[in-house]
Structure 1
Amino acid sequence: MGQIPIEISSLTRLENLSIIRLDENNLSSPVSETFANFPNLTTLHLSSCRLTGKFPKKILQLATLSDIDLSFNYDLYGSLPEFPPNGPFQTLIVSHTRFSGVLPASINNLGQLSTLDLSNSHFNGTLPSSMSRLGELTYLLLSFNNFTGPIPSLNMSRNLIHLDLSHNDFTGSITSVHLEGLRELVLVDLQDNLLNGSLPSSLFSLPLLRSIQLSNNSLSGSIPQFLCNHSSLLVLDVSYNLFNGTIPECLTQSETLVVLNLQHNKFHGSIPDKFPVSCALKTLDFNNNLLKGLQLEFVKVLSLITSVDFSSNNFHGTIPEELMNFKRIIFLNLSHNALEGQIPSSIGNLKQIESLDLSSNNLDGEIPTQLENLNFLSYLNLSFNHLEGKIPVGTQLQSFDASSFAGNVELCGPPLIKNCSGEIHGLPMSPHGIGWNILRAELGFVLGLGLVIGPLLFWKQWRQHYWQRVDFILCCIFPQLSLEYETRGGHGYQVLRWRY
């Protein structure tokens, strides 16, 4: 711990010193310009050192420096210099800092640049077209900045593995020119931008591509059938766009696809009614589309699937019994459809479920007592159906808010204020006496409520859990990814970090 000593200048006498690694030391100080005086310095790693102040631009212009990592220094700021011809950089990482400004057009002078990570910083402006000449680029990570304008062509970066331009303000369309020939590409993340147009065929002809994340844009058109020819894709997320047409049946029959997220688009038609033995899906999200029908036939029980969201479509009919065989399901959302009939008693089979939403349908009948067997259930919404009868007493169902059961006119009993008709009530108690029957009921209710609510205080909200599951799946798919915790602005965050 402590500051970088002023006496570091004496180290410049070590003319052959080429590597300095001080990662994860609590230096808590500005960076001395003295580092620029090492004539043979090739590697400078100062990641997670709590560095502050402005980073000396002179260090970034060292003629010998090829590898620099300043990441995770949240109070360190600066900008990138103009790079001289034949610049030496192979690795340039300033992620999770306050570095800002534009990316200089002279970036193309870094002919050996393999890793460029500027993510989670404050860069802005357009990406220079000269980036297309970075032939050795392997990792291009520019997420969570303020970049604007079109994405330059990267088809000369034949070694590119990981492309992350997410959470910016990029505009324009994705064309075949952008990605054509990138046969080493494994991950493409362009989510949360302002992109439009349709998907190019070149995107699905990349043989090693495992993850495509394009959510939160204005992309349109249909999902091309030639996607069916892709044999290595594990994650496809095109949610929150303007896609239409039908869902290619091959997506639900893929032997490799693990995450399929098509929510908030304009897909129509029906969900394919057969899921083969070889289906690998774990997360399936079709909510807020124009789909209809829910007559599913599962050739095998998808025992690994953990999340199903079919909400806000036009599904009708009864809740498929097959869904009750998803033994590991944690999140099930069928809300805002036209489902009818009773809630199947086999819902008690979903022992791991934490979030269940069947609201805004036409379900009728009584609430099955088997719901009391769902010990992990932390979110329940049965509101706005035609359920009737008494809410099962003495179960954790009384621990949920009355809003979970609202809009069911014939439903009665705690936590609703409506009493059930035909109940036998005790004689009026003396004004000086104690209503022991009422007291016993209240004590039982409060005690039961405490036993249920107590553990829930330590559980994440159900919506957070959904995305955490996606993060977990991504970590399983990509060994280079890891979940880490960081502090920014006094708040703790869980982030995915790519290990090089």
Structure 2
Amino acid sequence: MFMKSLKNNLIFDSSSSTKLVHWNQNVDCCNWNGIACDSSGHVISLELDNESINGWIENSTTLFSFQYLERLNLAYNSFFYPLPEQLVNLTRLAYLNFSNAGFFGQIPHEISKIRSLVSLDLSSEFLPLKLEDPNLEILVQNLTSLKELYLDGVWISNHTNDWWGSLSQSLPNIRNLSLRYCDLSGSLNPTLTQLQSLSVLRLDGNNLSTIAPDFFANFKSLTVLTLSSCNLEGSFPETIFQVPSLQYLDLSYNMLLKGKIPEFPFRGSFRTIILRSSSFSGSLPNSIGNLSMLSIIDLSNCNFTGSIPYTIANLMELSHLDFSMNFFFGSIPVFRTSKKLAYIDLSHNSLNDSFLSANFEGLSNLSYFNLEYNSLTGSIPWSLFSLPSLKTVLLSNNKFSDQVDEFSTMNSYNLETLDLSRNELQGSIPQSLFKLERLEDLSLSFNFFNGTIELEKLQNLRNLRSLDLSYDNLSVVIRSSNNSEMPQFPNLIALSLASCNLHEFPNLMKQTKLTYLDLSKNKITREIPSWIWEMGLYHLNVSYNSLVDLQKPYNITSSGLNELDLHSNKLCGKLPLPPAYAYNVDYSSNNFQETIPLGIGDSTSFVSLANNNLTGVIPTSLCKARYLEVLDLSGNFLSGGIPPCLLQNIETLGVLNLGRNNISGDIPDTISANCGLQTLDLSKNNLEGRIPTSLANCKSLEVMNVGNNYINDGFPCMMKNSSTLRVLILRSNKFHGDIRCPGVDQSWPNIQIIDIAFNSFSGKLFPKSIESWKGMTLNNNDQDHLQFNFIFPFSGYYQDTVTVTIKAQEMELLKILTVFTTIDFSSNNFEGEIPETIGQLSMLYGLNLSHNSFTGTIPESIGNLTQLGSLDLSRNQLTGEIPEKLTSLTFLSVLNLSYNKLVGKIPSGNQFQTFSAESYEGNERLCDFPLNTPCDHDNGQQVTQVQKEEQESSDAVFYFISAGVGFAVGLGFIFWPIMFCERWRKCYYKHVDKFVLIIIRKLRSGDNH
């Protein structure tokens, strides 16, 4: 009768039930699934987990009337009510499992009265359960028989941080203790060692913020210890690794936790070791081969070095190996004896040996194999694909080379993912690849494959979801017949054919599931077909083609595109309104005309309309954009003023680039108090007035460029406390006055480029101000380029650019290297001496103080600037001799000391042998080479006219080539075309910046050879 009543009171989903739905009242209830009875017919166990029960069980008096009930399991149901207090009626209950059953709120005090409990599980991953009143101490004080306590996800109030004391005193017999993600804090107390029966301890996800205690080594029965994501710090005690009983250790995601793996005893008991994303380092001991039962080892994203021990192959039980994102080097271990291996990830290391097929013999269970981002060489052993369980092979970003031969596909029937991208593979693509019928993802991009590939030959790959053939030397043929209709791939989602020598837009209308399409950097001409907007694409990139128009009629706004990239084509006419839900829109570098349409940017994160022929004003409708992070309208013919609401309303804005337009008026002083700007470029316009004081609200500003306007103001002291500013350009305006801010001696610790030339600044340079520019002192190699990273809704970046002047020649830095540093204070009214502290800017590359009124001598400390490539102190009032120490500047390629009052002999040696007389002219009392004026103390010898002419004829060669002098060999070949050819300048900074980065880093490490 009780069981009939219970079934009638429980509400459940019969379609999901596997027990309750089959309860038959015509059969003895002791035979029902989920029910157990003792020899007298009393119900002693109810196992009703995962039965989709919902509703309120407190009204079910039947449930709490089972006086003999010893085990109650209602886990993983959907009650959505507080825990019932009537549980206290179940006085014989030993096992209670309410984990993830949908209960919430305070755990009732009544549970603490069930003294018979041996196992209690109230874990809650979804709804908030809490232990506040009663707290943990009151809950367990009477439960002295508990051997298992699971409270994962329960919020435990621990105002006194003494939760361990409560456990040690009340639970002497506890074996399994799991308090994961309970919001516990405070250091661990040695009183826990009183729990000598403890076998399993899980404390993951708490804010322990403490040094890992060594007393864990005192638990003689400990088999499982998990302390993942606990903010542990310091060094982890090696003795814990040597606890004889320990089988499972998880210390992952403790970024500050250091440690080394010690030697392991023979026949160690470990089965699982997880140190992922910690700061463990050192090499792995060969004794790791003693762990004969080890099944899982995850050391990914740590700091391990050295070679991988060959004894790894001795681990016969090993099934999961993840050593990714470390600094392992050398060869790959021979795994053929580890027959249970199913998962291998050695990616993001420095493995550099040739790739031998012997590594894979016998790995019949291997399903996942990842060696991406190493330096592996040689040929790819296609025998790897003979492993029958293999599903995923990731070998991208290595140095595999040679021609790829045909291979047998007899046992490759399970292969689903193959990524060979970013290697040095050559020759034609083997036809064997197109016989892997279960293949879902295939990437061969960024190699040297050549020849012609017909997509028709891929039709056997009916399961193909993504195909990437980009950036090889391939010519892709869509269809051999006259029409360009692509064969149907029923599951194809992503297609990347960038730089595949396509001449026309392929007909993709049969690809009904296609959402990602990249056809960039091809030779496609004519129009973008109108059907493309009806395909349901999320991503479309057709940049760097020769497209001239959009086929009409078109309706872009109704498409589902999230990313639309049309930049660098020849599109003209009226600017099309982008898709309604697009977050990334790039129309830059086309020939679009007329005005910016209303509504652009409404739901967009990235908008670039740069380098078109747009006219009119900036529409105020942009102020309504809710998610806009990047707005680039530079390089057009926009006029009018900057809408005040643009800077006031868009708090998400990180980049605003309005440079190279015809914008006039004042910069609005309406910048939001929550300004998030990182880049502000208003250069080359007709702006007037003052720099707005509200610019101080931009606490994250890195790049500020207002050069080439008509701004009439003092030095922008509202930014004096900026700790993020890296680039400041005020060039060619009407700025005036002192550059020292009242009450501030030091500012801008990260500045790397400062250009205030062609203004009316005056006064002296202050030593402490220069001394504080640590961005020109420190070796900043943490990021190669300045860029703005935007995150909504998916990550991307905006590449900052800037124009700098070297030796009166403008150079556009399409990427701002963080190692590039320059100061240009030229053409102002500065006076006084050049501070000696300028010699502390050890990373400075360019220094221009010309066309001022500086007096005194050239600071000898400039000779400390070993990275200096350009020095211009011309047209000042400098006196005294040229410091001999300047000859140590072996990286110097441009020198101009002309039109000062310098005297004495020009120093000789190193770079000073390469500069022409123009570098020193206008200093009447300078003498010696390369000037025609000999010094009086030159042993009475006169320089002959023939010698002078020979020297002058070689000056030009030496000036540009700088031959035979330290690192400057060939430097002129780089800088001369850059200075005098705009196209070469852009090409250089687009493709050779990596070369410059390597050079400068070598210089900084002391290698000047």
TM-score when scaled to structure 2? 0.40
Q: 3-state DSSP class of the match of 1:196?
A: coil
Residues in 2 aligned to 1:269 and 1:7: alpha-carbon distance in whole angstroms? 70
Cα 1:278–1:289 shift into 2, 3 Å: closer
Residues in 2 aligned to 1:372 and 1:170: alpha-carbon distance in whole angstroms? 48
Which amino acid in structure 2 is aligned with residue 342 of structure 1?
E
Residues in 2 aligned to 1:38 and 1:452: alpha-carbon distance in whole angstroms? 56
Residues in 2 aligned to 1:72 and 1:452: alpha-carbon distance in whole angstroms? 35
Deviation of 1:374 (Å): 5.1
Instruction: Decide which of 22, 25, 28 is 2:206's aligned counterpart.
Output: 25
Cα 1:453–1:122 shift into 2, 3 Å: closer
The aligned residue for residue 464 of structure 2 is: 281
The aligned residue for residue 482 of structure 1 is: none
The aligned residue for residue 524 of structure 2 is: 339
Q: 3-state DSSP class of the match of 1:203?
A: helix
CA offset digits 1:401-422 (Å, max 9, x no partner): 99725255xx5334575379xx
Q: Is the 1:328–1:353 contact (alpha carbons within 8 Å) kept by the matching residues of 2?
A: no
Deviation of 1:146 (Å): 0.8
Deviation of 1:201 (Å): 3.0
Cα 1:371–1:333 shift into 2, 3 Å: farther
The aligned residue for residue 310 of structure 1 is: 497
Residues in 2 aligned to 1:101 and 1:239: alpha-carbon distance in whole angstroms? 31
The aligned residue for residue 221 of structure 1 is: 402
Q: Is the 2:455–2:476 contact (alpha carbons within 8 Å) kept by the matching residues of 1?
A: no
CA offset digits 1:252-306 (Å, max 9, x no partner): 5643211111110011122333253761112111111011143247786435323
Residues in 2 aligned to 1:368 and 1:413: alpha-carbon distance in whole angstroms? 18
Unpaired segments ≥5 residues, structure 2? 1-183, 597-610, 631-651, 653-791, 799-1009
Residues in 1 aligned to 2:281 and 2:583: alpha-carbon distance in whole angstroms? 48
Deviating more after overlay: 61-70 vs 277-286: 277-286
Instruction: Decide which of 194, 206, 211 is 1:11's aligned counterpart.
Output: 194
The aligned residue for residue 475 of structure 1 is: none
- What pairs with 1:57-76 in structure 2 (closer than 5 Å)? 57-76=238-257
Cα 1:209–1:159 shift into 2, 3 Å: same
- What pairs with 1:473-492 in structure 2 (closer than 5 Å)? none
Which amino acid in structure 2 is aligned with residue 161 of structure 1?
A
Residues in 1 aligned to 2:244 and 2:333: alpha-carbon distance in whole angstroms? 28
Deviation of 1:332 (Å): 1.7
Q: Is the 1:379–1:462 contact (alpha carbons within 8 Å) kept by the matching residues of 2?
A: no
Residues in 2 aligned to 1:401 and 1:453: alpha-carbon distance in whole angstroms? 11
The aligned residue for residue 594 of structure 2 is: 413
The aligned residue for residue 556 of structure 2 is: 372
Deviation of 1:462 (Å): 6.4
Residues in 1 aligned to 2:465 and 2:331: alpha-carbon distance in whole angstroms? 34
Which amino acid in structure 1 is aligned with residue 534 of structure 2?
N
Which amino acid in structure 1 is aligned with residue 613 of structure 2?
K
The aligned residue for residue 166 of structure 1 is: 347
Q: 3-state DSSP class of the match of 1:100?
A: strand
Q: Is the 1:249–1:272 contact (alpha carbons within 8 Å) kept by the matching residues of 2?
A: no
Q: Is the 1:353–1:374 contact (alpha carbons within 8 Å) kept by the matching residues of 2?
A: no
Instruction: Decide which of 61, 80, 93 is 2:261's aligned counterpart.
Output: 80
The aligned residue for residue 459 of structure 1 is: 793
Residues in 1 aligned to 2:205 and 2:255: alpha-carbon distance in whole angstroms? 13
Deviation of 1:89 (Å): 1.3
Query: Is 2:260 the partner of 1:260?
Result: no
Q: 3-state DSSP class of the match of 2:215?
A: helix
Unpaired segments ≥5 residues, structure 1? 421-437, 465-500
Instruction: Decide which of 310, 316, 320 is 2:506's aligned counterpart.
Output: 320
Deviation of 1:103 (Å): 0.3
Deviation of 1:224 (Å): 3.9
Residues in 2 aligned to 1:135 and 1:283: alpha-carbon distance in whole angstroms? 36
CA offset digits 1:8-43 (Å, max 9, x no partner): 34425x2x4322222223322222211111222222
The aligned residue for residue 544 of structure 2 is: 360
Residues in 1 aligned to 2:493 and 2:284: alpha-carbon distance in whole angstroms? 42
Residues in 2 aligned to 1:63 and 1:207: alpha-carbon distance in whole angstroms? 38
Residues in 1 aligned to 2:232 and 2:304: alpha-carbon distance in whole angstroms? 19
The aligned residue for residue 478 of structure 2 is: 295
The aligned residue for residue 820 of structure 2 is: none
Residues in 2 aligned to 1:39 and 1:363: alpha-carbon distance in whole angstroms? 73
The aligned residue for residue 447 of structure 1 is: 621
CA offset digits 1:109-140 (Å, max 9, x no partner): 11221111111111111112222222221111
The aligned residue for residue 127 of structure 1 is: 308
The aligned residue for residue 383 of structure 2 is: 202
CA offset digits 1:218-264 (Å, max 9, x no partner): 00134443264411111111110011222234545643211111110
Instruction: Decide which of 403, 406, 415 is 1:233's aligned counterpart.
Output: 415
Q: Which has the larger radius of gyration?
A: 2
Higher relative contact order (CA 8 A, sep 6+): 1
Cα 1:105–1:341 shift into 2, 3 Å: same
Q: Is the 2:223–2:247 contact (alpha carbons within 8 Å) kept by the matching residues of 1?
A: yes
Instruction: Decide which of 109, 112, 123 is 2:290's aligned counterpart.
Output: 109
Which amino acid in structure 1 is aligned with residue 499 of structure 2?
S
Deviation of 1:393 (Å): 5.0
The aligned residue for residue 435 of structure 1 is: none
Q: Is the 2:324–2:348 contact (alpha carbons within 8 Å) kept by the matching residues of 1?
A: yes
Q: Is the 1:152–1:178 contact (alpha carbons within 8 Å) kept by the matching residues of 2?
A: yes
Q: 3-state DSSP class of the match of 1:123?
A: strand
Query: Is 2:232 the partner of 1:37?
Result: no
Which amino acid in structure 1 is aligned with residue 305 of structure 2?
N
Q: Is the 1:252–1:279 contact (alpha carbons within 8 Å) kept by the matching residues of 2?
A: no
Which amino acid in structure 2 is aligned with residue 362 of structure 1?
S
CA offset digits 1:435-462 (Å, max 9, x no partner): xxx8xxx69x553795696599742246
Residues in 2 aligned to 1:261 and 1:227: alpha-carbon distance in whole angstroms? 20
Which amino acid in structure 2 is aligned with residue 352 of structure 1?
L
Deviation of 1:365 (Å): 4.3
Q: Is the 1:164–1:189 contact (alpha carbons within 8 Å) kept by the matching residues of 2?
A: yes
Deviating more after overlay: 112-121 vs 276-285: 276-285
Instruction: Decide which of 230, 237, 245 is 1:56's aligned counterpart.
Output: 237
Q: Is the 1:136–1:159 contact (alpha carbons within 8 Å) kept by the matching residues of 2?
A: yes
Q: Is the 1:8–1:34 contact (alpha carbons within 8 Å) kept by the matching residues of 2?
A: no
Which amino acid in structure 2 is aligned with residue 108 of structure 1?
G
- Of Structure 1 and Structure 2, the greater strand share is in 1
CA offset digits 1:358-395 (Å, max 9, x no partner): 2222334445452524544344333444444x135555
Residues in 2 aligned to 1:106 and 1:38: alpha-carbon distance in whole angstroms? 23
Q: 3-state DSSP class of the match of 2:449?
A: strand
Residues in 1 aligned to 2:794 and 2:626: alpha-carbon distance in whole angstroms? 15
Which amino acid in structure 2 is aligned with residue 381 of structure 1?
D
The aligned residue for residue 685 of structure 2 is: none
The aligned residue for residue 150 of structure 1 is: 331
The aligned residue for residue 662 of structure 2 is: none
Q: Is the 1:159–1:182 contact (alpha carbons within 8 Å) kept by the matching residues of 2?
A: yes
Residues in 2 aligned to 1:401 and 1:115: alpha-carbon distance in whole angstroms? 42
Number of corresponding residues = 434
Cα 1:300–1:366 shift into 2, 3 Å: closer
Cα 1:386–1:194 shift into 2, 3 Å: same
Q: Is the 1:90–1:115 contact (alpha carbons within 8 Å) kept by the matching residues of 2?
A: yes
The aligned residue for residue 645 of structure 2 is: none
Q: 3-state DSSP class of the match of 1:221?
A: coil
TM-score when scaled to structure 1? 0.78
